[in-house]
Amino acid sequence: MKFLIFGAGGVGGYFGAELARAGEDVWFIARGKHLEAMKAAGLKLHTTHSNFTVPPGKMSEDPADAGSVDVVLFCVKSFDTEKAAAQLNPILNENSVIMCLQNGIDNEEKIQRSIKKGLVFGGAAYISARISAPGEITETGGLQRIVFGPMNGTADNRAEEILQVFAKAKINASLNPNILQELWRKFTFITSMGSMTALSRLTQGEILASTETINTVFAAMKEVEGVGRAKGVQIQPLDPVKVIEGIRRFDPNTRSSMYYDLVNEKPMEVEALNGTVVRLGKDTGVPTPIHQAIFGALLPHHLKHLQKRISS
């Protein structure tokens, strides 16, 4: 099966490398110094279970270089969704699957509108991984898991075939017939805990150690749940015990990608995450004061760094 990893950062780089190591035909799309390093010395993986390198070769800035593909793991930042999706058309056929592994709850719709062929699957990746140096991905915890499924809830042969390929590559993956519910489940966590690591500069372990701080995270999660239910999504009630158990599966020094984007003066996904909670809260009449505060505090940084990237 031929894969294209669109956005070879922490998530895409990790899962793409595991697929390549298992013998699948994998192309990696990246840019800048990260791409240059990959072309020169391959993609180096440092994980909690092994270290290995994907040899240089199938790495490019242009998806068209890959030719027709079976599956796209779509892992670009949410603010680049529509621009990136439009670049996929030359490599898609009627049976191509675009598996969205982005943060957020409406990227799938944007991708589907932007492509002329193929079908978009929703997906949630549960992993802590990031670009630790150009050409290098470091994975530090989580479940190293993908949950995916067609947005219409009907799994076809393509979904089953992809699941089998993931199993062959020893990727922990599962099909969920209600993938929208899964997307909101992850959305609830990352918009609350993820943004809190950025706003507070604390690690997940430090947040857990502070009763006031973790309770603020729980309150933020309840805001997202309220918005989701108002939108008609069946969301299970918050269980603080299970949330804490999940957080403890990560290295206590874990921080979110939003934190690393902030401190490295890069655009953040705050509009797709906290901004979406605030917008949907206004649409449905659900108060979201915590997310409004987070959004108001981080948005100026995002806009400043986004403008800097556009100008450079």
Q: Collect all residues with Cβ–Cβ distance below 8 Å to 274 and sequence separation of at least 6.
A: 191, 195, 291, 294, 295, 298
Percent of the chain with pLDDT over 70: 100
Q: What is the rounded CA–CA span in Å between residue 284 and residue 293?
A: 18
Per-residue pLDDT tens digits for 98-134: 999 999 999 999 999 999 999 999 999 999 999 999 9
Nearest-Å Rg of the Cα atoms of the chain is: 19
User: pLDDT tens, 143-186?
Assistant: 899 999 999 867 789 999 999 999 999 999 999 989 999 999 99
Q: How far apart are the first and last CA of the chain?
A: 37
- Kindly indicate the confidence band of residue 280, based on its pLDDT and cuts at 50, 70 and 90: very high
pLDDT, tens digit (0-9, with 9 covering 90-100), for 238-254: 999 999 999 998 899 99
- pLDDT value at position 143? 85
Mean pLDDT, range 56-84, rounded to an integer:
97
pLDDT over 80 (residue 206): yes
Predicted TM-score of the model (pTM): 0.94
pLDDT at 208 over 80: yes
Task: Please tell me the distance from the alpha carbon of residue 103 to that of residue 214, in angstroms, as a whole number.
Answer: 21
CA–CA gap between residue 25 and residue 41 (Å, rounded): 18
Percent of the chain residues topping a pLDDT of 90: 92
* pLDDT given at position 311: 84
| Of residues 142 and 145, more confidently modeled | 145
Question: Whole-angstrom Cα distance, residue 1 to residue 22?
Answer: 11
Q: How confident is the model at residue 310 (pLDDT cuts 50, 70, 90)?
A: confident
Report pLDDT for 209.
Answer: 97
Residue 222: the pLDDT is 97
What letter does residue 194 receive in the DSSP assignment?
I
> What are 40-46's contacts with CB under 8 Å, separation 24+?
40/135, 41/135, 42/135, 43/8, 43/13, 43/16, 43/17, 43/135, 43/136, 43/137, 44/135, 44/136, 44/137, 45/13, 45/14, 45/17, 45/136, 45/137, 45/139, 46/132, 46/136, 46/137, 46/138, 46/139
At residue 156, the pLDDT reads 82
Domains in the chain, CATH or no CATH each: 2-177 (3.40.50.720), 181-311 (1.10.1040.10)
31, 6 Cβ separation under 8 angstroms: no
